[in-house]
């Protein structure tokens, strides 16, 4: 069925190309081979027609100067003019009428169909020429080789599609699961960048807090060491103070004993 459809579409394209070629031949029959190049280059033909019209006006002016007569009558100096008939004007009018008649014949052949795109006649001729070029033997051989290649590949594609449809290893389920994960990751894509920035900021803050904690621990250790040394110094001070009090008491007793002896000696 697919092969017959491809052949049918190719046949339709070929019929369209032949139809365009037929229309081109009818154009040549209607307007002539000499007028067909003017259709392919309308601006050039218009420029040429304008040049011919200007030349005809110059010739009319020269003939009017040579043939026109100015007659002076009496003392009133009345001026009379003679009008000369130029047959070229009639020929130009007939040419325009012939061109209009040919355009009407073309509209009857091609059909008068208004287009929204305002495609010019030159563009239409280019399109017809491009479509007619599709009928060249080299192009047709290339199309035929491609069609044969596609025709040979169709059974392989159908076999692969059948094998994939009969696949029972859960490949489609895995693909659906992966697609779900991709959608979830895609939804997280907008949240992750600011979250990463916050984590980086928190990491820096945590590093500063860790350094402060280490410093505080070192201060605490120094404080404990100083407290231990202070307690030892206090204990030593108490010992020295006790010894000093004992020494003072013994010194006082010794002085009292000396005073007693001196008193006894005086008597």
pLDDT digits (tens, 9 = 90+) for 107-149: 676 655 554 444 455 666 667 667 666 667 777 778 778 888 8
Grade residue 261 by pLDDT with cuts at 50, 70 and 90: confident
* Residue 153 dihedral angles phi and psi, to the nearest 5°: -85, -20
Structure tokens given for 124: 């239409």
> Is the predicted pLDDT of residue 95 greater than 60, yes or no?
yes
Using alpha carbons, list the distances in angstroms from residue 134 to 26, 39, 131, 207. Answer: 19, 22, 5, 75
* pLDDT score of 196: 77
- Residue 127 CA to chain centroid, in angstroms? 30
Residues of the chain with pLDDT > 90, as a percent, come to 11
**Among 95-104, 213-222, 238-247, whose mean pLDDT is lowest?**
95-104
106, containing H or E segment: helix 87-110
Model confidence, pTM: 0.26
Most confident of 23-27, 68-72, 243-247: 243-247
* pLDDT score of 244: 92
What gap in Å lies between CA 69 and CA 79, rounded to an integer?
10
Grade residue 61 by pLDDT with cuts at 50, 70 and 90: low
* pLDDT score of 166: 57
Cβ neighbour number for residue 20 with a 10 Å cutoff: 19
73, containing H or E segment: strand 71-73
Instruction: Tell me the average pLDDT across 139-167.
Output: 74
> Is the predicted pLDDT of residue 72 greater than 50, yes or no?
no
Using alpha carbons, list the distances in angstroms from residue 84 to 64, 68, 90, 226, 231. Answer: 7, 8, 13, 137, 145
* Residue 83 dihedral angles phi and psi, to the nearest 5°: -90, 130
Instruction: Tell me the average pLDDT across 175-186.
Output: 73
Cβ neighbour number for residue 14 with a 10 Å cutoff: 14
Residues of the chain with pLDDT > 70, as a percent, come to 49
pLDDT: which is higher, 237 or 103 = 237
* pLDDT score of 73: 44
What gap in Å lies between CA 263 and CA 171, rounded to an integer?
126
* pLDDT score of 2: 45
Instruction: Tell me the average pLDDT across 188-196.
Output: 72
Q: To the nearest whole number, what is the mean pLDDT of the chain? A: 71
């Amino acid at each position: 069925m697919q092969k017959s459809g491809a052949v049918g579409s190719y046949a339709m394209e070929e019929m369209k190309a032949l139809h365009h070629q037929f229309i081109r031949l009818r154009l040549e029959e209607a307007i002539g081979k000499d007028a067909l190049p003017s259709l392919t280059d309308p601006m050039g033909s218009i420029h040429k027609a304008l040049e011919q019209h200007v030349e005809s006006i110059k010739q009319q002016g020269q003939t009017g100067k040579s043939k026109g007569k100015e007659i002076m009558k009496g003392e009133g100096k009345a001026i009379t003019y003679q009008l000369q008939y130029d047959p070229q004007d009639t020929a130009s009018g007939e040419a325009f009428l012939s061109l209009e008649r040919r355009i009407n014949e073309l509209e009857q052949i091609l059909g008068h169909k208004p287009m929204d795109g305002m495609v010019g006649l030159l563009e239409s001729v280019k399109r017809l020429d491009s479509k007619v070029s599709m009928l060249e033997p080299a192009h047709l051989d290339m199309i035929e080789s491609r069609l044969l290649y596609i025709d040979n590949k169709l059974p392989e594609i159908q076999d692969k599609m059948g094998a994939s449809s009969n696949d029972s290893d859960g490949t489609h389920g895995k693909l659906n699961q992966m697609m779900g994960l991709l959608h979830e990751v895609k939804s997280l894509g907008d949240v992750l960048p600011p979250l990463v920035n916050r984590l980086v900021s928190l990491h820096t803050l945590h590093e500063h807090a860790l350094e402060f904690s280490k410093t505080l621990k070192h201060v605490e250790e120094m404080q404990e060491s100083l407290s231990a040394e202070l307690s030892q110094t206090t204990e030593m001070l108490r010992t020295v103070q006790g010894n000093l009090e004992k020494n003072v008491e013994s010194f006082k007793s010794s002085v009292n004993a000396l005073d007693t002896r001196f008193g006894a000696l005086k008597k």
